[in-house]
Structure 1
Amino acid sequence: MNARAPGRPRVLSRARIVEAARRIADDEGLDALTVRRVAQRLSTGQASLYRHIKDRDELLRLLAEDVAAQLPGPADHPDPRHQVIGQWLAAYDYLARHRWAARIIAEGQHMADGASAFNDSALDALRRTSTGDHRPTGAAAPPADVLRVYRVLWHLLLGSLLNAHPVGHAGRPTEQDGGRPDPAPTDPPEEADPAPTDPPEEADASRDDFTWALPRILDSLLRPA
């Protein structure tokens, strides 16, 4: 019988280490992620972790692999345009649940082979969207244009998630313009959250902007040059 005896600690593995690291990043933010913190979460010593991982840098690489392997495939729809839109919206929603992942991807220091499935399927859907059947001229879009749209969609996705704006959001539509009203000012909390996240209205606005821009960028691929 292979059942674990009551009270006996679970066998440490690389998969368990990555799972604990992902939870720490979700709960406390990427900067809180250290080998020591993971060891604490697993109720073990750092030396035990070093039998499975080399250092924090490897831990981040494994996290990047983990998140890349779970990026969604194309949406289930007969129209390739809808497949593209559905896939990128699903990618936004997935990465929004693990906001630290966008930072790892954007920094580009930890390449993830697991992202190849998402990349290949996203490019394939874009190529099918750009064929003559979907373009007024009847001619497929040049491959260079397809690749450019693919890169732009990644920039749009990561920028929307990171919400990095050097001059703030003064240009956001007001309630009179049909946008959301600005939230009433509130006093800051006495103690900051260890892993601050965007307010719900900010997160919604970022997704709204992404949803608005996505089909417009895609349709630029369909228009004749």
Structure 2
Amino acid sequence: MPRASLTPAAIVTAARRVADDEGIAELTLRRVARELGTGPASLYRHIADRQQLLHLLADDLATGYPLTRAGRDPLDRVVRQWHAMHDYLAAHPWGARIIADGQYALPSARPIAEHCVDQLAAAGLDRETAVRAYRALWHLLLGHLLNAHPFGHLHGARGDGTDLDRAVRWLVTGAAAT
């Protein structure tokens, strides 16, 4: 009989801790079991394999995306939303890699997509352009998070949050102008 505290939710929480602290490469069922103070066999009652664990972890990530509503005007709200998503994913560095790998199309990510597209439409983009801008903003965000190599950055400096904010504004205003 599995421990009362050993649930899929507890396993995902432990997996998130391991991934946040040690990186996604270190995320194994054996490592998560050690984090929970149990053996890997106990986890197999709840999780079939590492692939399922990664799927559950990606789902957990998606359900945690921040949905911002504050901002002086619609464009400010868009910028705040993408900045909040940047900060959220920066706190879970493995998340950008999972998203970029594209293996998980999760229903739990749909509310953030709809929220972002609605914000882009409120900022003056028609629905089709808003969807395209949403995709482009994901590429921008993931590139910003995954580009750890300084080559190509002026003076070897990495971009900061203001660079991302400026790029989001440029992308949205440019899309609105087309």
TM-score (norm 2): 0.91
What does the per-residue CA deviation read over 1:18-67, in whole Å, with 9 as the maximum and x for residues that have no partner? 01100100111100000011011111011110111111001000000111
Letter in 1 for 2:7: S
Q: Secondary structure at the match of 2:47?
A: coil
How far apart are the structure 1 equivalents of 2:85 and 2:4?
33
Question: Structure 2 vs 1, CA of residues 206 and 77 (structure 1 numbering), >3 Å: closer, same or farther?
Answer: closer
Consecutive aligned runs of 4 or more in structure 1 exceeding 4 Å deviation: none
Aligned residue for 1:222?
176
* Paired residue total: 176
Aligned residue for 1:63?
57
Question: Structure 2 vs 1, CA of residues 207 and 76 (structure 1 numbering), >3 Å: closer, same or farther?
Answer: closer
Greater helix proportion:
2
Deviation at 1:206, TM superposition (A): 4.6
Choose from 80, 94, 99 the match for 2:74: 80
* Structure 1 unaligned regions, length at least 5: 1-8, 131-140, 175-181, 183-200
Give the % identical residues.
44
Aligned residue for 1:160?
144
Aligned residue for 1:197?
none
* Structure 2 unaligned regions, length at least 5: none
Deviation at 1:79, TM superposition (A): 1.8
Q: Secondary structure at the match of 1:111?
A: coil
Letter in 1 for 2:77: Q
Letter in 2 for 1:162: L
Letter in 1 for 2:154: P
* Cα RMSD, aligned residues only: 1.8
TM-score (norm 1): 0.73
